[in-house]
Each structure stands twice: as C-alpha cells, then as structure tokens.
A and B are shown apart, each in its own frame.
Chain A
Amino acid sequence: MSEKEIDGFSGVATTGHEWDGIKELDNPMPRWWQWTYYATVVWALAYMVAYPAWPLVRTATTGLLGHTTRGDLQNQLAAAEAAKADYVAAVAAKSVEEIFADPELRNFATAAGAAAFRVNCVQCHGSGATGSKGFPNLNDDEWLWGGKIADIQTTIAHGIRFAGDPDTRFSEMPGFRDMLQPAEISAVAHYVASLSGIAADAARSEAGKAVFADNCASCHGEDGKGMREVGGPDLSDAIALYVSDVGEIEQQIRNPHNGVMPGWQQRLGDTTVKELAVYVYSLGGGE
C-alpha cells in the first residue's frame, strides 16, 4: 500500500480500498466494541484452559474443570435418583394398601408404575391397559385372580401359569373334545352364551344346562359366576377374554386357551411391582 490518503471531507484516513470510486474511511472502532472484543479473547483463552478444547490423536485435552457431557448426564441422573430416594424407600417399606392410602405416596407410585407399565406391560396389555383378545383389559372390573390391590400385586409378582415361579397363579381348563360328545359341547356352549346374553338357541341352551352342571360347575360355579380360588372365570358377565360368540365358546371348550403371564418379581424387584400394582389399581376397576 502506498501513502495514507486523507479524505478531504471528513479529514479521516481511508483504508486504501476502493469500489467503483467509493472509499472506506479508516475510522477507529467504537471503544465499547473494542473492549468487548478483547473480553471475548480473554474469555476464549480461559475457556480453552478450563474446558476440553484441543483434539489429540485418541483423546482431547480435558481442561482444568474436568467437565464431560457424559459426567454431566450421570450427575443429573444421580440427582434425579437422589430426589426421589425418600419416596422409593417409603414404597419399599410399606404395603401396597398403605401406599394407596397416602395421597402423596399414591401419586408417586402411580406415576412410577405408569412408567414401568409402558416399558414392561404394554406389549400385551396395550398402552391404555385395554388389552385385546386373549389379553385382559385392566381398566374393567372383571378380575380373574382378584381385583384387590394385594391380589393385583401377587399376580404381577408371580405371574400366571409362569413356569419360572413356583408361587405362580395356576389353573388349567381341560380340553373337552374327547370327554364330551359334539352335541353336548354345542349344547353347553349355547348355555354359556345365554348366561352372558350372547345370542343362543333356547332349546339347546336348556339341554346344555345339565352338561354344565356335571362338567363345568366345579370350577365355574353352579350359576357360572366363576370361582376365583381355582381361577375359574365368571361366564355370566359382559366381559370375556377369548370369546364373543357361540362358535368361539365351542372352540374354547374343545381346545381351551390357557394364557401365560410372566412373573415380574425377579426381574423388576419388589418396589417396581408395588408401583405397578398401585398404577393398575388406579385405572378404575380395582375392588
């Protein structure tokens, strides 16, 4: 660059750059701007020393503060765990009835149970716990193994027909295809359908009554209202796990489904099982 050129109008030196006759004045930076700039430089240097900055071959400089994002996450998780530690301890120490009776603890257990439910239970029972054919709806008031909160806890803990737990709930309906004549099976199916108001043939239903009393009442009760102690479902109400018409009832008599639910005690531990029990109970169908 040659000599400094002074702009005649403002008396300020130009930078020497020119665009189509327009020249740029070499005015000084505003002082506040300059000081802010220096401050950012100082900040950057300090940041470089304090925090991880320079990439090395396999790692990077760690910085004096020893900060890592992974460590940050761990700290936050630990803080979250610590924040709920009191509640978790209380859930562990108390019975499910006591937990449910305490509004604050119930709120906590319901929320925790809902979270555990979404991870472990929705695969069969659905995200709204409404179930589907063969998988019970947990919102309604039909309970195969009891709808008291402690009953629910036992069912979740030990499962149903679960081979891995000796305390599991167990019942097994035998297949009647070899024990009863096809006409008898048809008759009793019509009778069972009539109990819960499913369309059925009156004559055959009448004929099935005796067959029912001889073969089914021992588990399902004289009136078909079920026997929980042996896991015999109520056949007289509006809810059925596997059937919705006479044909399906016949199918179920000949060759019954016996659904399996795993026990969760071993996998999730006592506390989570309690939380799940409180959550399921809070869905509205609990007894």
Chain B
Amino acid sequence: MANVQEVETLDVEAVNSARVRQPLYAGRKKIFPKRAKGRFRSFKWLVMLVTLGIYYVTPWLRWDRGPFAPDQAVLVDLANRRFYFLFIEIWPQEFYYIAGLLVMAGFGLFLVTSSVGRAWCGYTCPQTVWVDLFLAIENRIEGDRNARIRLDQAPWTARKILLRTVKHALWLVVAVATGGAWIFYFADAPSLLGDLVSGTAAPVAYMTVAVLTTTTYVLGGLMREQVCTYMCPWPRIQAAMLDEHSLTVTYNDWRGEPRSRHAKKALAAGQPVGDCVDCNACVAVCPMGIDIREGQQLECITCALCIDACDNVMDTLGRERGLISYTTLADYNANMAVATAGGAQPITPALVRTPAGGLSDRLKHFRITDIVRLRTMIYFAAWSLVGLAMVYGLLTRDRLRVNVLHDRNPQFVRLADGSIRNGYTVKILNMVPEPRTIVVSIQGLTGATMSVGGLDQPEGRSFAVEVEPDRLKTMRIFIRQPAGHVAGASERFDLLVEDKSSFESDLYEATFESPGKK
C-alpha cells in the first residue's frame, strides 16, 4: 500500500447534502470550488473555448449572397422578417424549419441524456460555461479555494476591496460582452458595432445589452449553482430520461468502502479497508457543493470534476483510477453484488480484489456498445427522421410561389359586351435574392384573357412581370371570359407562374365565377 500521508485531507463539508437537508429558509452557504486538474477539466476548457468561440465569432462571419441580400453568414433580420443561415434563407411562413430544429434539439437532448447522462448540464449549458468562466476569473484574481475562503472571511481591508472591485469589474466586462455579442445576430454586426459605440444604435439594442448584462452577471457571477438547483426545470425532467444503462458520475462504494483516513493502522488491526481515503478532494472541487459519495443527487450536473480530483488521489496512492467514474447503474449494481457476495455481507474489499491485489475480473466496466440499446435507437431514429425530413424539405422547397385570392365582392362583373370579368389579388413570392422575370399565364378557362391593374399590358393569356429580389409582389388581375365561352356558375382553372431561366414554377388552382346559364 502506498503512502497515505501524501494525500492532503481537505476540511470541507457538502453544502447541499441529502443527509443533512438545510432548512428551506436558511441563507445560502457560499461554495468555493477548488480548481481541478485532469482529463475532464481539460475537456471542459476545450468545450468552453469552442462554445464561446462559436457564440462570439459567428455574427462576424460573412457569406456572399449577391447585391440584394445581407452578407452576414448568420442573421435574424427581424425588421425584414428573414432568417439567414449560410446558404439557407428562411421566410416567416417557413418557420417550421425552426420548429424542426427545436424538435431535433429535444430528441438530441433525450438521446444524449439517456446515454451519457446530463452531459448538456455538465459541459455545454450556457449557465455552466459562463459560471466556469466567472470562476476562472475569480480564481485568477483571488486565488484558489483556500485563499478565497480566507479573503471572504477577512475584514474589509484595502486589498480585499481592490481584489473584489477588480473581480466584479471583470465579471461585468464579460457580462457586457455577452449581451453585446447577442445583438449582433440581429443586425449587420460591423455597422451595429459602430452605431453602438457612437451611441446611435436603436434603443432596443442598448436595452437588450443591459438585460443580458444583468442576467449574465447575476446568474453567472452571483447565483451560480442556485440557478441549476432552484430555477432550472431540467434537473427534474432528467429523472425521466435516465435509466439503469445511462452513464452517471458515480462513487463506486463497492470499492471505496469502508473508507478510512488511517488505512495503515486499520490494516494492521486486521480491519477491512476500501480505496477511499476520505480526503474530501471530490467535495472540494464540486461547483454544486455536493458530496458525490452520497449517491446520485438532483444537484449533480455531471461535470466530472470529482472524477479528476479522485483520479489524481488514486494516482498518488498508486491505486487504479475510477473510484469515482462514469458508470451505469446496472454495472454499479452488478459490482456491488460482487463486493457484498450478493448482499450476504457488508462491502468486503477482499471480494473485489484478486489475491495479487488487482481488481477482480468479475467486475463490470462500461463498454461503448452499452450506448446502443432500443431506447437510444428510438431517440436516434426520431432525431434522424426529423433531420432527414428537413434536409429533404430544404432541397426540394419552392423559391417561387404564388397565392391567388378571388374577389369576394363582387364575385363577377358583367361588361358592356356581355363578357364576364372576375377580379383576383395575386401574390407572387420571389424567395431568392435576385430580381426575376416571372411569366404569369392562365391554364384552362377557354377564351379567357387577363389584364393587370396598374400595368400597361395588352390583354392576353399570359404576361411577364419583374419581381424585386427577395420580395413579394402583389397585383390586381382581371380575367375576362367572352359571353360565348361562359360555361357555368363556377369554373376551375390554374394560374401558372414560371421563371423561364431557372425553370421554377408554381401553380394555383383558382375559380372563375359567373352568373351561370339561366
């Protein structure tokens, strides 16, 4: 057995404990998470870099759409009711693509949670990312856990005032930058930045920045873990998403118990000793202030920092990593059965160890294939179906559409020569950012001709009209059928719109009303 003395035992108590529930009206106890080091901490830094990078850089990416559309790669143009995402442009009536994305996000979350637990909470949730960022700043200014506790308890000296001012000022800078980046998604980023600095931007821009600055500062800097525990619904929903095959951050007490701070003495006395040296490293690093050794808890966001902390201790002790690990409940139960001889006796370290001292090969470990099971397959299938349906929709969607509204009053007009005329409001949607010449023609309705209100156009079966780029053109169209051709009270026909250069077309089935034969 290695030198137990090398491991520092930390004086820390879980703030949120299942065993000792705080009274509901107790004031919040501050949490001072210690900086962890290890695989998961590095991964979290990487995720933070990527997610914040996407958030801050995206509005500045350019995408050439020609002279008639904005060149911002991702833009929510509320004023003109257009949404641009790279080569995709969405009109308000195509909002179902956004709905589809939300459905995919939902199924994606189910899929991720049922296979790897609350990975969203632990790594990519904005609350987690920004709290991590705020904690990193706090750590840089005030020092690590012990220094921060000392500072918190110290009287208000000039040094404390200085450190606190600098910390809050930096937090506010981050908060302003967060709100500031958000608004760039809604307008041309470079020109908005200029307006913002010169004070000429729209009031709503400043208000949005102010609101998001406040929420970022308050939620990320001041409230931190309370947001997850008290405000967020996901910790409640996740219980329905997890099953015995989902990965959760687990303290493997079948291996750790009975824990002892004095392993050598206990061993010498012939008592069984588990791997846990009760150093509290896992509690000290927890940003949620829990003790993972009490089992799965509502507060746990599975950030896995306790795994890093414990792995470092196990390395020092020369024992196998994974006393705290990502484990499924099924594996845990199987291993527990091994450690307790099927529940016949208390946890017995000897049962999980080979005579040579290694871990028994009867123990179960997570294999990547465990993720593939009926439930996750169903989630994945639903997720992919929605995705494929959206891709199919995007590839085949019309960029030229026509809507025809028949006049309701009057339904028809008899003209001097006895012919019957119907009026229509025709709306042509040119959904590409290029001007197009659209040919409108009557299909069917023998003998009928049409004229366009406000357009000098000889009466005929078809006419061409210029439609502005990325716009809807509304026209009044009058269709006239000579007296001899009028068939009955109501006759169906099609109005066809065509772009002769791209061969796109759309058809609208309309009705021609007449007094009918008497």
Contacts and interface: CB of A to CB of B under 8 A. Distances in A.
A38 B415 CA distance: 73
A237 B413 contact: no
Contacts of A139: 410, 413, 421, 423
B409 interface: yes
A238 B483 contact: yes
B413 A140 contact: yes
Nearest to B478: A284
Contacts of B421: 139-140, 284
Interface string A50-82: 000000000000000000000000000000000
A128 B410 contact: yes
Given A130-B409, A282-B454, A284-B478, A239 B414 contact: yes
A237 B476 contact: no
Given A137-B413, A238-B418, A282 B476 contact: yes
A141 B415 contact: yes
A238 B24 CA distance: 87
Contact of B417 (A30, A106, A238, A282): A238
A27 interface: yes
Contacts of A197: 418
B414 A140 contact: yes
Interface string B460-480: 000000000000000010100
Contacts of B453: 282, 284
A30 B414 contact: no
Majority-rule SS of A interface residues: loop
Nearest to A236: B416
A28 B23 CA distance: 11
Nearest to A239: B416
A275 interface: no
Contact of B476 (A130, A141, A284): A284
B503 interface: no
Given A238-B483, A284-B423, A103 B454 contact: yes
16 contacts: A27-B24, A30-B25, A31-B25, A128-B408, A128-B409, A130-B409, A130-B410, A139-B410, A140-B414, A140-B421, A142-B416, A234-B416, A237-B418, A282-B454, A283-B423, A284-B476
Given A27-B25, A237-B417, A238-B418, 14 more contacts: A130-B409, A139-B423, A140-B416, A140-B421, A142-B415, A142-B416, A234-B416, A238-B414, A238-B416, A239-B415, A239-B416, A282-B454, A284-B453, A285-B413
Give the 10 A-B residue pairs with the shortest CB-CB distance, closest first.
Answer: A128-B409, A237-B416, A238-B418, A139-B413, A130-B410, A128-B410, A142-B416, A284-B478, A141-B415, A140-B413
Interface of B: 24-25, 407-410, 413-418, 421, 423, 453-454, 476, 478, 483
